[in-house]
Amino acid sequence: MGTRGNSQESYQFEDGAMKKIEYGRYPKARKTVGGGQSVDEWIKEVDKSKPAHHDYRDRSLKIHGLICARCGREFDHASRHLLTVHHKDGNHLNNPPDGSNWENLCVYCHEEEHVR
């Protein structure tokens, strides 16, 4: 199935023939999930139901910065996915607001920490 056209007319190849695509004749479809809820509403509801400790990574990056606490490597926004949060006491549910149980480690230093 291919389309061709400019901003005024568009055509679609279907069933061996070119057919003109009619735009604006039907209202935009609303994507829904169970219970008739829109997808956007459902995502907002799921986000609200996440446990309070769920956002500790973003909080740790804000508190401690984009730098590895072991090797000192600095990260920018594009490479921040290589920076992880290590829980000093090993308890992922222990997420104090001051970030005292966290240290930001690059993936290499974090792996070394767990190999010990």
Within this chain, do residues 58 and 111 fall inside the same structural domain, yes or no? yes
pLDDT band of 6, cuts 50, 70, 90 = very low
pLDDT, residue 84, reads 94
pLDDT single digits (tens) 59-105:
999 999 999 999 999 999 999 999 999 999 999 889 999 999 999 99
pLDDT single digits (tens) 13-52:
667 677 776 665 555 555 666 667 777 777 777 666 655 5
Within this chain, do residues 33 and 68 fall inside the same structural domain, yes or no? no
β-pairing, 83-87 with 3-5? unpaired
Within this chain, do residues 99 and 56 fall inside the same structural domain, yes or no? yes
Within this chain, do residues 67 and 109 fall inside the same structural domain, yes or no? yes
The CB density around residue 66, as the number of other CB atoms within 10 Å, is 16
Write down which residue in 11, 27, 49 finishes a domain.
49
In total, how many domains does the chain have?
2
CA 77 and chain centroid, separation: 14
DSSP state for residue 7 in the 8-state scheme = S
| More confident of the two residues 33 and 114 | 114
Within this chain, do residues 39 and 67 fall inside the same structural domain, yes or no? no
Which strand (E) or helix (H) includes residue 110? helix 107-115
As a dihedral over the C-alpha atoms of residue 57, residue 62, residue 68, residue 69, rounded to 10 degrees, the angle is -100
Q: Are 71 and 108 in contact (CB under 8 A)?
A: yes
Write down which residue in 32, 49, 66 finishes a domain.
49
| More confident of the two residues 47 and 56 | 56
Residue span of the structural domain in which 86 resides: 52-115
The CB density around residue 12, as the number of other CB atoms within 10 Å, is 14
Tokens of 61: 């990056």
Residue labelled with tokens 């740790």: 60
